[in-house]
Structure formats: structure tokens, C-alpha cells
Structure 1
Amino acid sequence: MWKLHNNGVLLPDAVVKPTERLGWGRTIGLGAQHVVAMFGATFVFPLLMGLNPQLAVMMSGVATLLFLFVVKHRVPSYLGSSASFVGVATAIYAAGGNPATLTGALFVVGLLLFMVGIIIHFAGARVIHKALPPVVTGAVVMLIGFNLAPVVAGVYWPVDPWLAFVVMLIVVGLSIGLRGFWGRIAIFLSLVIGYVLSWLADVVFGPMVKEGADGTVTEQLRVDWGAVQQADWFGLPPVTDLATWEFGATTNVVGLHLPQFSLGAIIIALPVVIALIAENTGHVKAVAEMTKEDLDPLMGRAIAADGAASMLATAVGAGPTTTYAENIGVMAASRVYSTAAYVVAAIVAILFGFSPVFGAVISATPSAVLGGITVVLYGMIGLLGAKIWKENHVDFGNPVNLIPAAAGIIIGIGDVKVPIGDFELGGIALGTIVTIAVYHLARAIAPRQMREEADGATLQYDVEGMHHVDED
């Protein structure tokens, strides 16, 4: 299925294509790095949604295998839980819903996404190009990456700032200083080193002292394996009786269950489709930019595959899926786009789903370690948007390009929200809508010469870009 890259020899500046692979030992190492990148979000977001994280991790592996099969292994991606759904879950619960009505509403979101993908597949990628030209896609990729900045600044980094700073320096040093394969898995090596440093810090300096909002002082270990010691080696998520579920209860994390369908919950959830289309489109565009391949013919397949994977996951009580921005950062750092590594990551995730203890070990990764790693990864994702602009010669001296990108990026990065009934639309979704809507509004009201100048820059790139591809 995968061609062995350069007889297994990885040169320093080589790029490994999606349909190629390294030796299986190295491929497994890269797969482990993708697991590291996706695991925190795949585990945490379902927990915040009142859904079972063990089940979510298992279904993320199944969803990834489905996605790779549908896109014929040409679009490397990992599919996991999305932060976009956390606000939806809160709104549905506040309106009297339960996890079954939540997964039912999100099943419909997956169905709609699947239908959009089918339309794009048959109508052609030109539909996307007209709606999402380079200035828009660059802005969407940028705001997706930089929207993750508050996760670093507000969640991971403050727990132990100096340790996070040290881990960040380790990531920088290993990513730039190491050569060959070891440089490609610098993120994973940084996590292992950071994990060990955190344990040593506990041994040498003792637990961290934390003061709560009420003035209560508590001690907290950097590496806490309490959950690991209590976890079983093998086991499936429980089947949950929702008759006993109560919103806000400490036991509100549910396991396997069938979805239920509520019109009110569906209406609350539907706007998230915008975010999913943007995330998938941005992902395919970013991968195409990195691999220098034309992936537009697979755009519809990718979106439809994510929709089908979301339907499959929500049908058993897990959260829906989306292509992972975190793993774009791993690919950008390693320059290895082999889908074989993603298959390894998917299989590992499925195995995690059968073993609570392994999930507990990964979830015990110190927040400071995640902070040091993600501060680099998330920034790399955002800057891929700037790379799209540069490669497409986007002219920001033209207000048709400047104004929509400026407004959308600030909304996305600042996580600006607008209320729509009981639902708040904000962040990536609102930033994407504003960027697209304001761009097309600007084109509609701009003088003809201004529009032609904006189109001319893009057309020039298209001709040059095709010529460049032919030469390669």
C-alpha cells in the first residue's frame, strides 16, 4: 500500500509523501508522536461535554481509519474531538437536554456535513475556490491555529510556567538541532523528556503549592499517577442508563448509549457545521500547501468522510470528529506526511480504548509539558496561514483582501461571540463566517479595478503554481 521512501533512508531535507513510508520502526515512532499530539484534545473535550473519553479515543481511531480509506490515503489526517462542540453541549444541557439528545443533534451535524461533502465532490472544488479563495483560506488556517493560543496561555502554561518554558526550549532545540529521523520525532522526544523532568522536579523540589480562589492552599504533584493505579488494564466503556443522568452531577460522564433526536437541540447544534467545513477545508489546503500536491479533487471526499465518521461515532454515544489542527503541526515539524503513521496512531488509539490504564498514563502528562509543546505547535499551525498568503501572492494593499482577513482573524483569535438564542456563535466559526461574508460583500461593492487587481494576483499565482508543479 505504501512505497518505501528512498529505500528506508531519510535524508535531512527530504519530504516523505502521504503514499510513502519509512521503515516500520520509524513509522511507529512517528505514529506515537501523532498520538501525543491528538490525545489531550481527544480526551479532554469529550470529558467537558459529559461524554466518555475512553470511548471517544477508541472511536477517533476508527474514524481516522475510515477517513484515510475514503480519501485513498492521499490526505494525511487524524480525526478526533473538536472544541467547537463544547459550547454546544453546554447550551443543550442548559436547555434541558441530556447526552443522548446531544449526540442525536451532533449526529445530524455529521449528516449535514456528509451531504455538503457529497455536493462538493460532484460539483467540483471550484465551489470551494469561489467561496474560499486564498486570502480566505489563509485567514481560516491562521485563526484555527491562533485560536488555540488561549488553551496554552490559560490552561497548560500557568500550572508551572518555568517548566513549560524549559520544555518549549527543549522542543526548539531538538527540532532544529537534531538531524534525520530523531529530528522528525522531536515533539515526542520533548514530551518524554518533559515527563521525566516533571517527575524529577517532584522528587527534588516536592509538590507544587496552589492557592484556590477561596484562599485554600493545596499541594499538587506534577506527575500524579493516582488514576493510573486505580485503572484496569483491560475494559470497555460502560453502557449508561440515562434515566439516572443529572446535569451538573459529578457522575455525568456517560458511556455507550444510543442517540435521541430533539428539534431544539438540533437547531442549537447546526451552526457548528460552518466550523467543521472550515476546519476540513483549511486542513486539506494546509496539507496541499505542505505536500505541494493538488488535493482539490479530494476536498469533497474529505468533508464527506468526516461527516460519515461523525455519524458513526455519535451513533454509539461518542462525540463527533474533525480533522486535527494539532497533527498539522506535527507534519510541519517532521515533514513526514505518510498516512502509514496515521494508521499506526489510529490502531494505538483503538487499543487505548480497550485499556483504561494506558489512557490514564497519557492523560497524566503534566500540563506544563503540554504547554511547552503546544506553544510551538499551535504557532506553527497559524503561520501556515501566512505561508498560504505568501505562496498565493495575496496583496494586502488591496482592501478587498485586507479588511475581511483582518476582521475574521481578530474574531477568531479573540474568541469573540454573538448570542443566537441559547447558542453562542464565536471563535473559529464566527471568524470564518465573517471572513467569507465580508470578503464577498467587499467584492460586490468594490470598484471594478479593485476587484480585477485582487483577481489578477491570484490568477498570476495559479499560472505560476501550475508551472511549478509541472517542473517538479
Structure 2
Amino acid sequence: MSNKPILDVKDRPKPAQWLTLSLQHLFAMFGATILVPYLVGLDPAIALISSGLGTLAFLLITKFQVPAYLGSSFAYIAPVIAAKASGGPAAAMVGTFLAGLVYGIVALIISRAGHRWIMNLLPPIVVGPVIIVIGLAISGTAVGMAMNNPAGKYSMLHFSVALVTLAATIIFSIYAKKMLSIIPILAGIIVGYVYAVIVGIVDFKPVLEAKWFAAPDFLIPFVSYDVKFTWNIFWLMVPVAIVTLSEHIGHQLVLSKVVGRDYIKEPGLHRSILGDGTATIISALVGGPPKTTYGENIGVLAITRVYSVYVLAGAAVLAIIFGFIGKITALIQTIPTPVMGGVSILLFGIIASSGLRMLVDSKIDFGDKRNLVISSVILVIGIGGAIVKLPFNIEIQGMALAAISGVLLNLILPGRPKVSENMFETEETTNKKTA
């Protein structure tokens, strides 16, 4: 398929065209970006605003050369939930800030030492199983959301809403064409929401009472909460950057193919990683979830062949505006839990399958005992929820422990193969279709 642009990276569209094209990108990221805060108990409005601010920061840092949109990261769902359980929303924001700092440190090292070291540190045999863990570790939450009523008890009525949502999302994923194929999550949520309205489990009272303009309750450090660093928060959040960094590299490689430029070299991987980390830090400073580049929006670029950074910037501005429209925020909050549960059943499975696909496409030989050992340890530690308790009340658990174990085993065990630079090219589906 030709990637000759209709609008190239620095081309500015006409106003009406600009609005339409930016709305396409807004819709592409919308479903997944609001699903993450919904799952972890953060404000979807802040997630929208922080995604817009983060995208603008990313475009600025990459010298307006990389057309990418940054939305809520699915990789951090379990760590954010765990951080909130241990220290409330403030702990989750501190952890998010620390994860963003890791991106900055990695970007600095890459700017000095090049990028091949990180690709050798994170081969598919480590990243693939960790991605599988990300998808499956929280699968029980998705099923519970789908089956239970607000009281936490099984309800066939609520489960039917989840099943309709799931079926619609699957149909859109497989049979939809062109732009609609890029927004199966949003389309599925809409169908499920309509069905929920029909069966009478949606309350529109909050929408009617909401103001048209309303600023969300931002979580500002030292204003909304006291900043407190703990090693538990560090070990909950920071190791997940092992996976999201590899996801970022994969997206840059795919984006390079789509747009016809080498973004690893110019503006450089260090700039795009710094942009991603800055977006995550901005999100932490206002109360939003961690950020990541979105595969859905790369898909929009591939289909439309409109690569203009002005269009992505327009989508970012629209996201910020949407976050301040009280009616929209209230409407999002009326979405029943089973609707999100139905979408999550498919989405978490897709994330896990993306890890499996990475292993298959990378031709990982499981007849090799080295590969078998690394993947087995990662999967059981991650999904089983293993915990290592260290002095000074430090705990490393679940996904973080799985990622660290995988990296260490890959470095220690003999027979480590040399990793090629294009090893991450199969990662384009991880972002939610990860995030």
C-alpha cells in the first residue's frame, strides 16, 4: 500500500478539513483513553485534558516532526490500582511521575550512548510474556465488571449488557471498514450504552444537572495532596516502564514505515521517549493516568495518509476542550460498568494476544530451554501475583517483579542471542489496541 501523503507532516489543512480530520483522531483515541481512568478510578475528564496537553508537549519536544497522539496507557492499570490501594490517588500520581522520570533518564542515556543497548536489554522473549501478563493479570476485574450489578452481586441483566457490548466490539473489529475499523472500542461502547439505556440501567439525571462548562477536580501536588515518596510506590510503577519503553520503540518503528521517515534517527529516539515521558509527568501533575503513544491513531494515519502534525495538534486541543465540557464528562460517567466490562474482556485479551504475537513473529524457539525458562518464570510470577518483601517495608510484586525477573534472567542465562533493530515491529497492536 502506498504511503504517499495526502497531507505531509508539515502541511496545514484548510479549517473545515482540519476540524474533521482532528475529530477522527479524537474518536480513535477516545474509547481507550476514557476506559483506563474508568477502570482505575480516576477522572475521565482529566484523562482527556492530560492526553491533549501531553500530545502537545510531545509534538513540541519532537520538533513537530512526529505525528503521534498520546493517550492513557493500559500497561499501568494494575500498578495504578495497587498504588491507589496502598496510598490513595496521591500515591498513584507520585508513581506516575516517577515512571515519567525513567523515560527522561533513558532518553538522556540514549542521546549519549545510542539506542541499541535498550533493544538488547528488552528482547521479545522478555517483552512478549510481560505483555501477556499485562493482559491477563487483571482479567478477573473485567469479568467482575461484566457480570455484577452495582451491589457486587451476579446479575444476568447486567451481564447481558456486557455481552451485547462485547459482541458489538468484536463485529466492528472484524467486519468494519476504513475509519470505523479504527474505533471498534468507541463503537462497541456506544452500542452497549444504547442497549443499557433500553434495558433501563442508565441514569441521565447527572447529565441534566451538569453545567456546560465545568473544570474537573485536578489533583495538584502540594495543593490537592502532600507528596510522599515510598519505595513501594517506586517498585509498583517504575519497572512497568520496561514494557512501555519497548512499546514506544515499536510504535516509532511502525510510524516510520507508515510515514516514510526514520524517526529513530531524526528527530531521534531520545526525543520521542523524552516526549512520552514528559506527557506522563504532565499527567501526574494534574491527576491523570500514565501516557503512551496510541496504535489506533497510527492506524488512522495509515488509512487516511494524512500525516500532518497540525491535525494531531488539533485533536489534542479538542481533547482539552472536551475535558472542560461538563455535559460530556457527566455523560461519560453515566456509562454502566458492564459496558466497560464487556469492552475490557476483549481488550485485555487483545493485549495478551499481542504479546503472544510478538513471540510468534519473532520466531521464538520454545524448544530452547533458555526461552522456555524465561517465559515460564515471567508468566507465573506475573499472573500468580508473587511478592518479594525486602527490608524497610519494600515490596516488589506482580507485573513489576515479573518484568525485573525476565530482564535479569535474560542477562544471566547463557546463550543470549543478538537482537536485531527491527525486532519490535510487531508491537503496533499492543497499545490498545493497548494502551
TM-score by length of 1: 0.70
C-alpha displacement of 1:27: 5.1
Match of 2:345 in 1: 375
* Alignment partner of 2:174 out of 176, 190, 194: 176
Distance change (3 Å), C-alpha of 1:105 and 1:165 = closer
**Contact preservation (8 Å) 1:68, 1:75:** yes
Amino acid in the other structure paired with 1:427: G
Q: Is 2:417 aligned against 1:455?
A: yes
Match of 1:318 in 2: 287
**Contact preservation (8 Å) 1:18, 1:76:** no
**Contact preservation (8 Å) 1:55, 1:256:** no
Amino acid in the other structure paired with 2:356: A
Amino acid in the other structure paired with 1:352: F
Whole-angstrom distance in 2 between the partners of 1:347 and 1:391? 37
CA RMSD of aligned residues (A): 4.0
Whole-angstrom distance in 2 between the partners of 1:142 and 1:21? 40
Whole-angstrom distance in 1 between the partners of 2:334 and 2:148? 17
Alignment of 1:59-78 (within 5 A): 59-71=50-62, 72=64, 74=66, 76-78=68-70
C-alpha displacement of 1:410: 2.9
Match of 1:192 in 2: 190
Amino acid in the other structure paired with 2:58: F
Match of 1:11 in 2: none
Unmatched runs of 5 consecutive residues or more in structure 2: 150-157, 427-435
Unmatched runs of 5 consecutive residues or more in structure 1: 9-16, 203-220, 240-252, 444-450, 466-472
Amino acid in the other structure paired with 2:291: T
Match of 2:153 in 1: none
Distance change (3 Å), C-alpha of 1:408 and 1:343 = farther
Match of 1:242 in 2: none
C-alpha displacement of 1:190: 2.3
Alignment of 1:1-400 (within 5 A): 7=6, 25=20, 28-45=23-40, 47=42, 54-71=45-62, 72=64, 74=66, 76-80=68-72, 82-83=76-77, 84-92=79-87, 99=90, 103=93, 107-159=97-149, 160-202=158-200, 221=201, 223-237=202-216, 257=223, 260-262=226-228, 265-271=229-235, 272-285=237-250, 288=253, 292=257, 296-297=264-265, 298-315=268-285, 317-319=286-288, 321-323=290-292, 327-328=294-295, 336=303, 343=313, 345-400=315-370
Whole-angstrom distance in 2 between the partners of 1:395 and 1:342? 40
Moved more, 133-142 or 415-424: 415-424
Distance change (3 Å), C-alpha of 1:357 and 1:163 = same
C-alpha displacement of 1:77: 4.3
Moved more, 170-179 or 291-300: 291-300
Whole-angstrom distance in 1 between the partners of 2:141 and 2:92? 24
Match of 1:404 in 2: 374
C-alpha displacement of 1:114: 1.6
The secondary structure found in structure 1 opposite 2:388 is strand
Distance change (3 Å), C-alpha of 1:402 and 1:191 = same
The secondary structure found in structure 2 opposite 1:32 is helix
Match of 1:418 in 2: 388
C-alpha displacement of 1:118: 1.5
C-alpha displacement of 1:39: 0.6
Amino acid in the other structure paired with 1:34: M
Distance change (3 Å), C-alpha of 1:259 and 1:280 = farther
The secondary structure found in structure 1 opposite 2:396 is strand
TM-score by length of 2: 0.76
Match of 2:398 in 1: 427
C-alpha displacement of 1:408: 0.9
